[in-house]
Amino acid sequence: MKNKLPEYRKKYNLSQDKLAEMLGVTRQTIISIEKGKYNPSLPLALKIARIFHATVEDIFLLDEDG
């Protein structure tokens, strides 16, 4: 799954550390999500979307090629 998390994070001026703290996860989790190495659970994806006043679909894109 592809995502626009880095763009949203920068738009809201949030560091990986700060976002991780807000979500109750580690910075490593944020890094893994941003690199596409880890797909967040639905509850975590919803929390991320809520922080950025966006929909899950705005941030996370299904990789149609995979």
Whole-prediction pTM = 0.91
Q: What is the rounded average pLDDT for all residues in the chain?
A: 95
Residue 66 lies in a domain: no
CA distance 54 to 10: 14
Residue 63 lies in a domain: no
The rounded percent of the chain whose pLDDT value lies above 90 is 91
Residue 39 lies in a domain: yes
Residue 66: per-residue pLDDT:
45
- 59 by Cβ neighbours in 10 Å (0-12 / 13-18 / 19+) ranks as buried
* C-alpha closest to that of 45 among 66, 60, 31: 60
Residue 65 lies in a domain: no
